[in-house]
A = this chain, B = another copy of it.
Amino acid sequence: MHAIELRSDNAAGVAPAIVEAMVGANVGTAIAYGDDALTASLQRRVREVFEHESARVFPVTSGTAGNSLALSALCPPWGAVLCHETAHILNSEGGATSLLGGGAVMRGVPGPDFRVSADTVSAALDSVRWGDPHHSQPSVLSLTQPTDMGTVYPVAEVAALGEAVRGRGLSVHMDGARIANAIVSLGCSPAEITWRAGVDVLTLGATKNGALSSEVIVSFDDRASDELVYRTKRSGHVTSKMRFQSAQLLAYLDDDLWLRLAANSNERMAQLARGLRELGIGFVNRPDVNMLFAQVADDVATRLEEAGLLFYRIAPGLIRLVTSWQTTVDEVEQALGAFTRALR
């Protein structure tokens, strides 16, 4: 058996249609820094996909860039960004938001299922000394959709959270590193889960789902958009040959490719979870998208590794399994076979 990749969707390759689009974009010359025809097309396409007349798109090359720049445009330097205590922006971006946000701080909020809830956000906001400059003022709620633990916020919950915090003067950011997986899982439209539910700025991930080097910020807020023109550039996130990022994104959005790729990873995870459940393995999260935290004894994990399964050990007795656009039915079958053997 060749190695089966279940470590991260980050480890997957690039979808063929996206490679083709990049190769196809390599014709002639084009003006740099986003003033090209492909980037203009992408701008129009994003407005169509999100059914929003004035949304603006800013291609960047990493999720950290997308999140921290989006937050810097929503949060004043003296503000605080609220997010779940397990959020990527808080734990895995090296303080990018504090750097690019001019010293803004982040505050982790608890909540079941790795999601903030109306109650926990409310409690966090109630403890704020509003208007007291000694106290960092919550200015943005950042929701990770799906969460870093593979759970999903229902549309109504995003909308309720958005409405609640907006009443206290906060904006809403969505870290959508895997947003396509959430959209497929929820069966909603891109607009429903974002601006219609109160999201001001979205970080739309693509690299984990088949793109090569493109994430984009989609801003539904004109003031934030105006700032992002400058903020993206001066942090070094405006590439000269942006047309090749735009080409990726155009292919990604074309014919719902992004949703089809995400559907595959979600379905492969459903297939895997079904099989594991039958084998009696317990889960920490509900596998709503393409990620599973499974309770697997350490010696079993060792045997799985020896059998060629690639995955992460999170803690004693706990492993993380992630499927991708590239995972095949056959690979999942083989993985389940390996589990069966390892459990004997």
**A interface residue numbers (CB < 8 A to B):** 5, 7-8, 10-14, 19, 22-23, 26-33, 60-66, 68-69, 76-78, 80, 91-96, 98-106, 133-137, 207-208, 212-213, 227, 229-241, 244-245, 310, 324, 326
Q: What's the Cα separation between A65 and B235 when bound, in Å? A: 7
The reply to whether B212 and A241 form a contact with Cβ atoms under 8 Å apart is yes
Residues of B within 8 A of A64 (CB): 233-234, 236, 238
Given the known interface contacts A62-B238, A63-B240, the answer about A133 and B233 at a Cβ–Cβ threshold of 8 Å is yes
Whether A134 contacts B94 in the complex (CB less than 8 A), given A5-B29, A29-B326, A241-B212, comes out as: yes
| Min CB gap A92→B, angstroms | 4
Q: A13-B27, A133-B238, A241-B207 are in contact. Are A78 and B65 (CB under 8 A)?
A: no
Which residues of B lie under 8 Å from residue A100 when comparing CB positions? 99, 103, 235-236
Give the docked Cα–Cα distance between A135 and B229 (Å). Answer: 11
Cβ–Cβ contact B239 & A61, under 8 A: yes
Which one of A12, A19, A22, A133 has the highest number of Cβ atoms from chain B below 10 Å of its Cβ?
A: A133
Assembled-state Cα–Cα distance A233/B227 (Å): 22
A68 to B234 Cα, complex, angstroms: 9
In the assembly, how many copies of this chain are there?
4
Q: For residue A94, which residues in chain B have a CB less than 8 angstroms away from its CB? A: 78, 133-136, 230, 233-234
How would you classify the secondary structure of chain A's contact residues: helix, strand, loop or mixed? loop
Residue of B91, B238, B310, B324 touching A135 (CB-CB under 8 A): B91
Closest residue of chain B to A18 (Cβ to Cβ) is B26
CB closest residue in chain B, given A88: B134
User: Do the beta carbons of A240 and B207 come within 8 Å of each other?
Assistant: yes
In the complex formed, the residue of B with least CB distance to A90 is B105
* Known interface pairs A93-B234, A99-B77; A26-B7 also in contact (CB < 8 Å): no
A40 to chain B, nearest CB (A): 16
Question: A12: which of B11, B19, B29, B99 is its contact (CB, 8 Å)?
Answer: B29
| Min CB–CB distance A278 → chain B (angstroms) | 26
Q: List 12 A-B contacts (CB under 8 A).
A: A14-B241, A14-B244, A22-B212, A23-B23, A62-B239, A94-B135, A94-B230, A96-B103, A100-B236, A102-B102, A235-B236, A236-B237
Interchain nearest-CB distance for A36 vs B (Å): 9
Q: Are A213 and B239 in contact (CB under 8 A)?
A: yes
Q: In the complex, what residues of B have CB within 8 A of residue A68's CB?
A: 236
